[in-house]
Homo-oligomer: A and B are copies of this chain.
Amino acid sequence: MSGPAVDGDRLWSRLMQMAAIGGFDGGGVNRQALSDEDHAAWAQMIAWGDEIGLEPSTDAAANLFLTLPGSDRSLPPLMAGSHLDSQPTGGRFDGVFGVLAALEAVTAMAKAGHRPARDIVVVAWMNEEGSRFAPGMMGSEVFAGVRSLEAVRAAKDAEGLLCGDEIDRIQAAFPNLAERVPFVPEAYVEPHIEQGPELEAAGVPIGVVSGIQGKITSEITLTGQAGHAGTEPMQARKDAVMAFARVASELQQQVGLSDPDIRFTIGRVEVTPNAPSVIAREVRFRTDLRHPSNDVLDAAAARIRAVVARAAAPCEGHVQELVNAPSNSFDPVLQARICAAADAHGHGHRRMASAAGHDARHIARVCPSAMIFIPCKDGISHDPSESATRADVIAGAEVLLDVLLASEKGM
């Protein structure tokens, strides 16, 4: 019998099957955390695992684990995967590629009759995206002890549904899953599309991720005074929408354009009461700020507070920091194994930082961790036009399989 090898047809076909769960016209996917579509994705993953004897389990944060049993089950397991949830108007590759690459790696082992030295766990982290329940990466944060289960369960979606109730709902839908107690993996590897333009521009299929840039997410509330749009003189108004326009324009100039490596985004804006003929009483919005240097990040966050304090008037401005995730570095041994695996397959590779945040950021606090990037078309992600080539998808899975084989005896 030959050694384990990735089956490209199987992997690509499964990616397209998964894209149909929550899929909508134009190639988009809406498969938000703990939604009915997420339930369907779990069912599909568990069914694929059943075919090769993977043991399904979950933990208190509704992370999904599929375990290929190893020879010595007392050893800490290797872990690989990513997330199955998508943005509301997301694409076919973000997250799910990593989960299915990991499933393909263990499937290749099982089909080849290769029993690894230790358990290998395929993981799908709960709510990486943070679009339904904010902030994101809840499952990996709870796993890594960065956020409490209570805080996660208390989050509410836009309809007022509690994350805790939705965790209970998905677990009730799969009553046969074993309950997994907290554990420390031997190592963690996460394949993912780059979500940026660098690999595609360089014509390189494999990114060896050195680390993830830091991120600070804040919620900013501007409070004014409601009033009648037809009567109240302009100079007497405390119009929260106009305060938002001023603050957002200044933040763009003073923060967003202050450094070429800064990424600054206001993606979510809620106006109250949001009625056409009522001067807005409140605007609440999120700022998403990222930079590879923690010093630059902290200085930019201070500037956000200063701009809000100055430009909100005559409204009142309040800044609350929701997430402060400093930049991190991935494990050098795993990075070396990724390079070696890419070389062995003849896949070009380059070291690069990740501009996007990933679950691996948090798991890196618990065990040696690394990420494998593949290119995505035009660098576009979080959009129905998100795309990756079949060849790059297969290359990423091949590298992952080799890294797992190289790591099964331990770090």
How many angstroms between the C-alpha atoms of A356 and B135 in the bound complex? 42
Name the CB-closest residue of B to A279: B265
> Considering only CB atoms, which chain B residue lies closest to A237 in the complex?
B265
User: A255-279: which have CB < 8 Å to B?
Assistant: 256-257, 260, 262-279
Q: What CA separation (Å) do A152 and B241 show in the bound complex?
A: 28
Pair B135/A276 contact, Cβ less than 8 Å: yes
B262 & A279 in contact (Cβ 8 Å cutoff): no
Which residues, 267 to 302 on A, are CB-close (under 8 Å) to B?
A: 267-281, 286, 288, 290
State whether the Cβ of A88 lies closer than 8 Å to any Cβ in chain B: yes
Interface stretch of the complex, out of A50-58, A74-82, A245-253: A245-253
Q: Is A1 an interface residue (CB 8 A)?
A: no
Does A119 have its Cβ within 8 Å of any Cβ on chain B?
no
Q: Name the B residues within 8 Å of A245 (CB-CB).
A: 244-246, 248-249, 252, 266
Q: A228 contacts B381, CB within 8 Å? A: yes
User: Cα distance A131–B272 when bound, in Å?
Assistant: 12
Dominant secondary structure of chain A at its interface with chain B: loop
**Are A265 and B229 within 8 A (Cβ)?**
yes
Please give me the residue from chain B that is nearest to A30 by CB atom.
Answer: B273
Say if the beta carbon of A234 comes within 8 Å of chain B. Answer: yes
- Once the chains bind, are A252 and B242 in contact (CB under 8 Å)? yes
A269 touches B266 (CB 8 A): no
**Is A134 in the interface zone, CB < 8 Å from B?**
yes
Q: Which residue of B lies closest to A258 (CB)?
A: B234
In the assembled complex, the CB of A316 is this many whole angstroms from the nearest CB of chain B, namely 17
CA distance A296 to B276 in the complex (A): 21
Bound CA span A3–B195, Å: 80
Taken together as a complex, chains A and B put the C-alpha atoms of A244 and B225 apart, in Å, by 21
Q: Does A239 contact B (CB under 8 A)?
A: yes
Tell whether A35 is near chain B: CB-to-CB under 8 Å.
no
Whether the Cβ atoms of B275 and A88 lie closer than 8 Å is yes
A114 at the interface (CB under 8 A from B): no
How far is A272 from B269 in the complex, measured between Cα atoms in Å?
10
> CA of A42 to CA of B230 in the docked complex: distance in angstroms?
27
Tell me the chain A residues, 208-249 only, with Cβ under 8 Å from chain B.
213, 215, 217, 225-234, 239, 241-242, 244-246, 248-249
- Complex Cα gap A256–B379 (Å): 39
User: Is A355 on the interface with B (CB-CB < 8 A)?
Assistant: yes
Top 10 nearest A-B pairs (CB, nearest first) are: A245-B248, A229-B265, A196-B231, A230-B356, A131-B275, A231-B355, A276-B286, A226-B383, A228-B381, A229-B288
A-B contact pairs, 27 of them (CB 8 A): A129-B275, A129-B277, A130-B276, A131-B276, A131-B278, A195-B231, A213-B230, A226-B382, A227-B381, A229-B263, A230-B263, A230-B355, A231-B263, A234-B257, A234-B262, A234-B263, A234-B264, A241-B248, A241-B267, A245-B248, A267-B271, A267-B275, A267-B276, A267-B280, A268-B275, A276-B286, A281-B383
Apart from the given pairs A89-B226, A230-B288, 7 other A-B contacts in the complex at a CB distance below 8 Å: A87-B275, A89-B281, A229-B290, A234-B256, A245-B266, A265-B278, A267-B277
Residues of A participating in the B interface, judged by any CB pair closer than 8 Å: 87-89, 129-131, 134-136, 194-196, 213, 215, 217, 225-234, 239, 241-242, 244-246, 248-249, 252, 256-257, 260, 262-281, 286, 288, 290, 355-357, 379-383
